[in-house]
Structure 1
Amino acid sequence: MTVENQVQLITYPDSLGGDLKSLNRALSSFFPDMFKGGIHILPPFPSSGDRGFAPINYLEIEPAFGTWSDIKAIGEKHSVLVDLMVNHISMQSKYFQDFLKHGHKSEYAELFLTLDKFWNNGEPVKKDLEKIFLRRPKPYSTFTIEDTGEKKRVWTTFGKEDPSEQIDLNVHSAKTKQLLTAFFKNFSNNNIKIVRLDAVGYIIKKPGTSCFFVEPEIYQFLDWIKEMADSMNIELLPEVHTHYKTQYKLAKHGYYIYDFILPYTILETLFSQSNKSLYKYLKDRPEKQFTMLDCHDGIPVLPDLEDLINTTEAIKVLDVCEERGANISRILTDEHKAEDGFDVHQINGTYYSMLGNDDDAYLAARAIQFFVPGIPQVYYVGLLAGENDYESVHKSGEKREINRHNYTFEEIRTSMETEVVQRLFELIRFRNEHPAFNGDFKVLESEENEIQLNWTKDEQYCTLFIDLKEKKTVIDYLDKDGEDNRYTV
């Protein structure tokens, strides 16, 4: 499959109207022909937590959202992207529930990584634990097998609860590969064109390593799953939050990667009114990427931008974001903190709020994103220039809910009436339609407080100019009539 080089929308299944039928109606009524690149529907499957990211299975759609026929209907007009949490599955899944009942006698026992498959006698080794990239205080949970009363410790990378709701899969098992293949067949039967391999960096567990992006084993797994996906005409998008050089290794293997560096870099560029960091980054960057400014998670900082940021400057960026209402997620493991103790993992807030609800700054940020090579994704809150949702954070206790507001149709209509959203719509249409974006990209020399990015294809061209001090954004381009034209964003 060829991924369309046009703008994609990222949304939860219930965030634009309440369910999948409403999402389809919103796409037709409010955003017709706008998301020609596709729709990334965040997990619509039955789930026991983490707003869909603890799936119980991938063979059904959560009834509150709709059915597979609703997904297929959206897929008739848009390429649909869904997530596969390839690292884990819900504790509530029939597979793990059977294991909880029967232990090693369960037909699904092979799916899970008990600690006795990792350490002798199942006893964690302190020096090994110290090397693991932790997402919770310890990488395992203890469960009681119903039939025997035996205590079993099982690998659980993610989850706030103890025991965790998210149980890691043993990807070395033939049983696991059979299960993943069944999920992909179901995706193919229901018009899914792209699958994001969420948390794929954590799939390989090996003593003496960080248990994160373990080479070469991770490539062996990716080669297997790619061959399987290719046979069903499904494109893969591995999702890995790690040092950018690790991401680049994936790109060299031919995979699309996520540009997790760009969101922070654009913030710094606009706050400092300097193009230095952005221009330096754009000099040596794989083009086969998906770009974003915001998503259901926060703005990545560490480990994604390790060695790319000056922590003194980063603290200035964080201070501005926090003054504007953002909250911060921290790194748990010392290994991934900066030498000076800087430990910011993500900045949580809406991009529009981080830019001070400044329409011109926000449109400048989107213009940079759309001109940087890659498949641009726009998160639904960003599409509607949403502001920080403090009430949802207070109700849920989840920091990331600050950027996960669910919109009613009336709220969508109200947001669409704002000037900033109408300007963004116009910019999206320009990015979708101008042929130069399928050509060659250049960073043009400019003053430090300016940005000039250029695309050319045959006689077609478009050039972005941004005055960072005035936050003035204009695009010079050749129009359909072959005339030179200027568009003020």
Structure 2
Amino acid sequence: MTTPTNPQEYVLRDKLIQQLATIYQGIELEQSYEDIAQSLLDIMELSSTSEIQKPYTNHWSEKDIILITYGDSIIKDEQPPLQTLKTFLDATIADTINSVHILPFFPYSSDDGFAVIDYSSVNESLGTWQDIEDISRDYHLMSDLVINHCSSRSAWFDNFVKGEGQGSDYFFTALPDADLSEVVRPRTSPLLKEVETGNGKKFVWCTFSHDQVDFDFRNPEVLKAFTSIIKQYLDAGVKIFRLDAIAFLWKVPGTTSINLPQTHEAVRLLRTLIESAEEHAIIITETNIPNTQNLTYFGNANEAHGIYNFSLPPLLLNTLLTGSCLYLKRWLMCMPPSQDGTMYFNFLASHDGIGLRPAEGLLDDSEINTLVRTVENFGGKISWRTSDAGEQKAYEMNISLYDAMQGTVEGKDEWNFERFICAHAIMFALEGIPGVYIHSLLGTQNDYQKLANTHHNRSINRHRWDEDELATALADNSLHHAKVLNTLKSLLNIRINQPAFHPNATQFTLHLGLQLFGFWRQSRDRKQSIFCVSNITNQPLQLPLAELNLIITESWIELISNTVISELTEEITLEPYQTVWIANNVALK
């Protein structure tokens, strides 16, 4: 193997060999690292002498917004839902949002898509690969790579049970008497599933459920299989890969089996393959774990391009329900700026609940307990996990975000809409790329009927809109849906025209007390500054502009109201949950 003088001159094959050696160190393999690397290159149709993509390159800007949706979040009689979704995207958000994350659109057996039966097919109930490609031509398409596990009804697992064919050696097994006491997982079900196979009784590792059987990446054939899947998705137009539950990828009995070094190296290898095949393709890791662990998936700008900013939803919800930004402010001040070539993926709601593990160490137990009780009072449900000490602890809160904002810890009030918009105004302005769940964009409320039908807590925030029903709701001025949609779009249309809102633009936290939450953004060329301040209480508050140090020789505009700031030493009144974006060098759409 050649040794380059400059790391950026590594030929691709050499880098893959090094990464494979790190992943499979100590494991006896039937193939050499060189042969495995060549197989990966062949699958991806890459040259072994290709140059490595340069790190620290940003493939994004302030114009990037990602809509998160299921393929069938909106349905219409006698039309494939993916076509209905495309119609909605084109008619409603194309002028504002340029990217879409379609949650797993493959055949599945449970977990609303995350127990994949066949990675190579589009679920017939949603549409076809042509429908996926139609969307990918007009929007940056983000797809899940459900890489930790698949459905127990998949052909691969059928072959495992039979003991022959592709998949027969793809799944991780352990003996019941193995030391599994340290294993960290988000579920309370038994970890091992007993299965009678053609090769005798086996105990299959199931991190999430017994219908979601975990892969064994100690077998390089599993890596090859997923490389083929990645190539197919790239060919279909996927540009953003969401690595689902990636933290659990590598398992070793006697350890926590989460965030292991081999998992991190596997992310680096996947990045190498993906960005070598498509220069502008990126990966985002979905790691619903404590904040300090989550940050490690940036590596040194050589692992994930983006990480889900999982601590933001519970901390921002806590801020708005308590009227104090103490914990949110502490967290933001400690967060490292993302290096060039990396970014935070910010979100407030998704198809899952509001996770509480990412709040561990940031909110104390009493704060979390108060948050849980408040969400329950607003009609939410709580999902639980078993702690290391064997205790039942709240794992996530299941509720639509609009309903989570019905009031404060004191109870419901009349500020639901304003509080909800305030949360998004804060998120849209933060360092990173915003992800907006379709049910937040539409102000969807708790779906108790779906919850009753499925008996799964997460169903409460996975409503399926009939297209005609949605059109009626958006046209009814007595309902909040159109007001939510139009207000969020207005904020986003401002955002995408401000260079200070670039995902990697400078950010500093402001010190304005605990009832005003603020931060400062500065564009990368230092020509534009934006001061973002929100009243996070249900009472009017005064903002002394002198506290912001607005430069007197500049012209300042409050972007949201499009109001000129003429007196830089005056106080302005912020109504309950009002946000201001005070900027110079303004570009309004």
* Both proteins in one fold, TM over 0.5: yes
Identify the residue that residue 2 of structure 1 maps to in structure 2: 59
CA–CA distance in structure 1, aligned partners of residues 474 and 501 of structure 2 = 26
Report whether the alignment pairs 1:452 with 2:518: yes
The match for 1:119 is: none
**CA 1:481–1:423 in 2, change beyond 3 Å: closer, same or farther?**
closer
The answer as to 2:583 corresponding to 1:477 is yes
Contact 1:416 1:422 in 2 (8 A): no
Q: 2:372 aligns with which of 305, 318, 324?
A: 318
Quick one: which of 295, 300, 308 aligns to 1:253? 300
Measure the CA separation in 2 of the matches of 1:437 and 1:75: 25
Q: Is the 2:182–2:388 contact (alpha carbons within 8 Å) kept by the matching residues of 1?
A: no
CA-CA distance at 1:252 after TM superposition: 3.5
What is the percent sequence identity of the aligned residues? 28
Partner of residue 158 from structure 1, selected from 179, 187, 208: 208
CA-CA distance at 1:461 after TM superposition: 2.9
Let me know the Cα RMSD of the aligned residues.
Answer: 2.0
What are the equivalent positions in structure 2 for 1:194-213 lying under 5 Å apart? Answer: 194-213=240-259
Give the drift of 1:229: 1.4
Return the offset for 1:445. Answer: 2.3
Flag the 1:31–1:350 CA change in 2: closer, same or farther, 3 A.
Answer: same
Instruction: Assess if the C-alpha contact under 8 Å between 2:429 and 2:532 holds in 1.
Output: yes
| 3-state SS of 2:142 partner | strand
In the TM superposition, residue 447 of structure 1 has moved relative to its aligned partner by: 2.7
What amino acid sits opposite 2:485 in the alignment? V
Query: What amino acid is aligned across from residue 469 of structure 2 in structure 1?
Result: E
1:376-422 deviation per Cα after TM superposition (whole angstroms, max 9, x unaligned):
10001111111111111111100011100011222332443432332
User: Counterpart of 1:190?
Assistant: 236
Deviations 1:203-256 (A, max 9, x none): 111121011112x22222222222111222231111112221111111233222
Aligned to 1:401: 459
Matches of 1:293 and 1:237 in 2, distance apart? 16
Task: Give the superposition deviation at 1:22.
Answer: 0.7
Give the C-alpha shift of residue 33 in structure 1: 1.9
Partners of 1:140 and 1:241 in 2: CA distance: 22
CA drift of 1:434 comes to 1.9
- Which residue of the partner structure matches residue 168 of structure 2? 109
2:100/2:140 contact within 8 Å kept: yes
Runs of at least 4 residues off by over 6 Å: none
Asked whether the equivalents of residues 500 and 522 of structure 2 are also in contact (C-alpha less than 8 Å), the reply is: yes
Match of 1:118 in 2: none
Question: Does the 8 Å contact 2:441/2:484 carry over to 1?
Answer: no
Paired residue type of 2:233: F
CA contact (8 A) 2:324 2:536 kept: yes
Task: Identify unmatched segments of 5+ residues in structure 2.
Answer: 1-57, 407-414, 476-481, 538-575
SS of the aligned residue for 1:100 comes to helix
Q: For 2:217 and 2:583, locate their aligned partners in 1 and report how far apart those are by CA, in whole Å.
A: 49
Q: How does 1:274-285 map to 2 (within 5 A)?
A: 274-285=324-335
Which moved further from structure 2: 397-406 or 414-423?
414-423
Which of 385, 388, 394 is the aligned partner of 1:331?
385
**Counterpart among 451, 460, 485 of residue 421 in structure 1:** 485
Amino acid at match of 2:138: K
Contact residue 90 and residue 166 of structure 1 kept, 8 A: yes
Please state if 1:22 is matched with 2:74: no
- Of 201-210 and 435-444, deviating more is 435-444
Matched to 1:352, the amino acid is Y
Aligned pair partner of 1:301 in 356, 376, 401: 356
Alpha carbons 2:176, 2:203 under 8 Å: kept: no
Match of 2:97 in 1: 35
Q: 1:109-145, CA deviations, whole angstroms, 9 ceiling, x for partnerless residues?
A: 2211232xxxxxx3433xx222112424322212222
What secondary structure sits across from 2:521 in the alignment? strand
Match of 2:15 in 1: none
Residue 197 of structure 1 and its aligned partner are, at CA, apart by 0.8
Q: 2: CA distance between counterparts of 1:330 and 1:72?
A: 38
Aligned AA for 2:298?
Answer: A
Matched residues in 2 for 1:47 and 1:4: separation? 34
Conserved? CA contact 1:197–1:236, under 8 Å: yes
Q: Which range moved further: 461-470 or 383-392?
A: 461-470
Q: Distance in 2 between matches of 1:377 and 1:481?
A: 23
Contact 1:17 1:26 in 2 (8 A): no
Alpha-carbon separation, structure 2, partners of 1:431 and 1:25: 24
Which residue type is aligned with residue 294 of structure 1? A
TM-score by length of 2: 0.75
Inter-partner Cα distance in structure 1 for 2:587 and 2:102:
37
Letter in 2 for 1:67: T
Q: How far 1:152 moved relative to its partner?
A: 2.1
Deviation at 1:167, TM superposition (A): 1.5
Q: Which residue is equivalent to 1:465?
A: 533
* Deviation (angstroms), 1:299: 0.4
Question: Which one-letter code corresponds to 1:2 in the other structure?
Answer: H
Deviation, 1:363, is 0.7
User: Contact 2:428/2:434 (CA < 8 Å) preserved in 1?
Assistant: yes
Which among 432, 441, 448 is matched to residue 496 of structure 2? 432
CA shift at 1:94, angstroms? 1.4
Query: Quick one: higher RCO (CA 8 Å, sep 6+), 1 or 2?
Result: 1
The answer as to 2:174 corresponding to 1:174 is no
1:88/1:31 CA distance change after superposition, 3 Å: same
On the 8 A contact 2:333/2:508 being kept in 1, the answer is: no
Structure 1 residue 78 corresponds to structure 2 residue 139: yes
Mapped partners of 1:465, 1:81: distance in 2: 31
Deviation at 1:479, TM superposition (A): 6.4
Report the count of equivalent residues. 460
Q: CA deviation at 1:9?
A: 0.3
Separation in 2 of the partners of 1:468 and 1:247? 27
Residue 285 of structure 2 aligns with which residue?
238
SS of the aligned residue for 1:334 comes to coil
Maintained 8 Å contact 2:181/2:254: no
| Alpha-carbon distance in structure 2 between the residues aligned to 1:481 and 1:296 | 34
Report the secondary structure of 1:197's partner residue.
strand
Q: Which runs of no fewer than 5 residues in structure 1 stay unpaired?
A: 116-121
Structure 1 length normalisation: TM-score?
A: 0.89
Please list the CA deviations of residues 324-357 of structure 1 after superposition, one character each: whole Å capped at 9, or x if unmatched: 101111122334x8xxx67111011011101107
Q: Is the 8 A contact 2:399 2:446 kept in 1?
A: yes
Per mean C-alpha deviation after superposition, the further-off stretch among 130-139 and 238-247 is 130-139
Matches of 2:277 and 2:171, distance apart in 1: 26
